[in-house]
Amino acid sequence: MNIKRLINEAKKARNRAYSPYSKYKVGAAVLTKGGNIYSGCNVENASFGITCCAERVAIFKAVSEGEKDIKAIAVVTGGKLTSVCGACRQVIAEFGKDVKIIMANVKGDKKVTTIAKLLPDAFKLKR
């Protein structure tokens, strides 16, 4: 897996963030089983609560192109390294249990973890 390339795609997506309210830019890039990369940025709204995080935009792009098996996701922010929000953790867990999560910033710091560590015992629909 080319982590550098994934981070670079997330960085490029970050430059397209629509974040006039928080002024906080986030980029994400998803690597699928098929080897394709789908990127996303955060998209805010004047109705703040309907803002969508970069991670979910990237995942929804992959899934809507028919790629439901996610291997890794890189997330790039501007300042200090940050983690992935709870809503996005649940969405990531839906599409792969061993997803690698790479948190990076524009300075070049990075931290690698997995969705199993960030969201143990994720909700799955069982009936």
> Which positions are catalytic?
55
Q: From the CB of residue 8, how many other CB atoms can be counted at a distance below 10 Å?
A: 18
The answer for residues whose C-beta is within 8 angstroms of residue 35's C-beta and 6 or more apart is: none
The answer to whether the CB of 15 falls within 8 A of the CB of 25 is yes
Residue 15 touching ligand THU (CB under 6 A): no
Distance, CA of 22 to CA of 89 (rounded, Å): 21
CB of 89 vs ligand THU, minimal distance in Å: 9
51 contacts ligand THU (rule: CB under 6 A) = yes
Q: Give the DSSP H/E element, type plus range, for residue 82.
A: none
Applying CB under 6 A, does 113 fall inside the site for ligand THU?
Answer: no
Q: Is 55 a residue that touches ligand THU (CB under 6 A)?
A: yes
Q: Which residue in the set 8, 32, 39, 42 belongs to the binding site for ligand THU (CB under 6 A)? A: 42
| 22 forms part of the interface with ligand THU (CB under 6 A) | yes
Beta bridge partners of 43: 18, 52
Task: Output the DSSP codes for 27-44.
Answer: EEEEEETTS-EEEEE-B-
- Under the binding rule (CB under 6 A), the answer on residue 24 touching ligand THU is yes
The stretch among 21-29, 30-38, 96-104, 117-125 that binds ligand THU (CB under 6 A) is 21-29
Q: Which of 85, 106, 116, 122 binds ligand THU (CB under 6 A)?
A: 85
Would you say 21 or 34 has its CB closer to ligand THU? 21
